[in-house]
Structure 1
Amino acid sequence: MFTGIVEEIGTVRSVTDLGDSVRMTIAAPRVLEDARLGDSIAVNGVCLTVAERTADTFDADLMKITLDNSNLGALNTGSRVNLERALAAGERLGGHIMQGHVDGTAGLRSRTPSEHWDVLRFDLPADLSPYLVTRGSIALNGTSLTIAGLGEDWFEVSLIPTTLAETTHGDLEVGETVNLEVDVLGKYVERMLRHGVAPGVADGAGGGAVATGGPVPGTAGTAG
């Protein structure tokens, strides 16, 4: 699990084509302070596994499904990426719960600068539209952000100077794409409603949860 609080901007050192996969080497001294082989690191919001490491770099293997469904396939030597270590138990949850499982990509439609922040408008994939709500959370390239505006085929985020300086969003240009992960809670709620399953309720005795199994009002008990 991750929280979308970017710890460091890393730099791609090399990209090696292995035919059906890619091995990527990323320079990132801070996130490697306590990293071990097999640990998870979010790279532009994609959960990757540390396969090899040196004092200031780590290698990760990217399968075809990762390359096809994220913007990592477009990275080259010198590309900058947002990095975050997996959440440690007992740490503050500064952003929102993220899995590092990208749902799709979104293109930057426009960028409107102001004196103290920038407003970025992105294309909204139609299949992900139901999961976005105004003032809700969205992960873009691994950064936990708040949806400031929402239309039928677009959404906006407002970025403060800290976000612009400490993530790759400060360099993002119109036409470029970002990895998008919607709030996982919304996906679970949508699935329960679609299958007519009401959320569990406390049983009052053992403190557990009991699923009602009945239809949610308004769903007519339909299953998709």
Structure 2
Amino acid sequence: MFTGIVEEMGVLKSIRKGAHSAILEIQAKVVLEDIHLGDSIAVNGVCLTATSFSPTGFTADVMHETLNRSSLASLRPGHRVNLERAMAANGRFGGHIVAGHVDGVGTVQRIEKDDNAIWYTIAAGPEVLKYVVEKGSITIDGISLTVARVDSQSFAISAIPHTVSVTVLADRKPGDIVNLETDIIGKYVEKLLHFPQEEAAPAPKQSSGITKEFLTRYGY
């Protein structure tokens, strides 16, 4: 589990693509401080497993499903990526519950400055937007952000300059594809509300206790 608080920006050194998979080699520093084989690291919001590491970086395998659902396939060597290690049990919960399981991608429509804030408007499909609520949480490329407004075709967030400067939001421009993960709580609520209920077995008929013999005995 992650919190959406980016620890550092790494740099993609190489991407080796197979027929339906890829291996990413990422240069990093902070996330290497206590790394072990098999550790989970969110790369632009996608939970990946460290398959090898060195003093300057780590590698991670990306499977077919992940490539189809995220923007990782469009990365090129030299691109910066947001990195976050899985949350430690004794850590502060600074963002929100982030699984690292991307729901889909969105497209940056507009980037606008508003005094000290920077607005990003992201277009997305209905399969994502149905879980996006105003003042709710959204993860964009692994960054925990608050939804400022939402309509039937897009949503917008307002970021402070610090968040932009320490994440790949600084690299984004209109037309770019971003990874999106909605708040998992909404998905669980939807599942519970629409889960097919098993039909209860009909209750056994209860006898009234009145039989032909009973009526005859009492003169009927």
Deviations 1:190-217 (A, max 9, x none): 11111277xxxxxxxxxxxxxxx99xxx
**Normalising by structure 2, what TM-score?**
0.87
Q: Which residue of 2 aligns with 1:172?
A: 172
Deviations 1:174-200 (A, max 9, x none): 000110000001000011111277xxx
Q: Secondary structure at the match of 1:191?
A: helix
Q: Which residue of 1 aligns with 2:71?
A: 71
Which shows bigger deviation, 125-134 or 38-47? 125-134
Partners of 2:162 and 2:106 lie apart in 1 by 22
Gaps of 5+ in 2: 201-220
Partners of 1:31 and 1:121 lie apart in 2 by 30
**What is the one-letter code of the residue matched to 1:19?**
A
Partners of 2:105 and 2:124 lie apart in 1 by 9
Partners of 2:186 and 2:90 lie apart in 1 by 25
Deviations 1:121-160 (A, max 9, x none): 0102111222111000000000000000111111000010
Matches within 5 A, 1:184-195: 184-195=184-195
Q: Which residue of 1 aligns with 2:116?
A: 116
**Normalising by structure 1, what TM-score?**
0.86
Partners of 2:150 and 2:24 lie apart in 1 by 35
Q: Which residue of 2 aligns with 1:161?
A: 161
Q: Secondary structure at the match of 2:30?
A: coil
Partners of 1:37 and 1:94 lie apart in 2 by 26
Q: Which residue of 1 aligns with 2:96?
A: 96
Gaps of 5+ in 1: 198-212, 215-224
Deviations 1:18-62 (A, max 9, x none): 333211100011111001010000000000000010001100011
Q: Which residue of 2 aligns with 1:221?
A: none
Between the aligned residues of both structures, percent identity stands at: 44
Partners of 1:104 and 1:44 lie apart in 2 by 12
Partners of 2:30 and 2:100 lie apart in 1 by 19
Q: Which residue of 1 aligns with 2:53?
A: 53
Q: What number of residue pairs does the alignment pair up?
A: 199
Q: Which residue of 2 aligns with 1:151?
A: 151
**What is the one-letter code of the residue matched to 1:68?**
N
